[in-house]
Amino acid sequence: MKANKFATALASAILVMGVLVPAQAQDKKVDPTGTYIWTVPGRNGGPDRTNTLALKLDGNKLTGNLTAPGRGGQTTTSEIRDGKITGADVSFCVVRSFNDNTVTNKYSGTLAAGVIKGKMEFERDGEAQSRDWKAKLQQ
C-alpha cells in the first residue's frame, strides 16, 4: 500500500514539474543588451547608410541610442523612447527634429539568434508607411 501511495505522489510531482518548468522557461525575457548594426540603401542612389543601435535592458526597462547618417552626411545620435521587451519582442520609438519638423519612427521586431527582425513605421506627407529592418548583434 505504501509503495502505491509513493508511486502516485511521484507521478504527481513529475506531472507538476513537467507543467511548471516549461511555463517558467517561456516567461523568461530575452536580453537584447548589445550593439546592433544594419544597412539601408542611400537616398536617390547615394551610398548605403549604416545604422547602429545600442540597447540596454535594465530590469523591465529598455533604453539605448540609435546612431544614423543624417542629412548632409552628418551622423546623428538619438535616444530611444518607450523601449519595451515582451518575451523576444522588442519595440521603441526614435524622435528626430530638423528644419522645425519632428519625425517619429516606431520600431518593432523579434530577437532571435542575435538578430532583431521587424518593421519600422513612420509618416511621410501625411501617409503611414513602413519598412522592414534587420539588425545583427555585433560581437
Query: For position 74, what pLDDT does the model report?
Result: 81
- Show pLDDT as tens, one digit a residue, over the chain (139 residues): 566 666 565 555 565 455 544 444 455 668 999 999 999 888 788 888 999 999 999 888 899 999 998 766 788 899 999 999 999 999 999 998 878 888 899 999 999 999 999 999 998 888 999 999 999 999 7
Query: For position 87, what pLDDT does the model report?
Result: 92
* Cell representation of residue 69: 547618417
In angstroms and rounded to an integer, the radius of gyration of the C-alpha atoms of the chain is 22
The 10 Å CB-count burial string (b at 16+, else e) for 67-103 is bbbeeeeeeeebebeebebeeeebbbbbeeeeeeeee
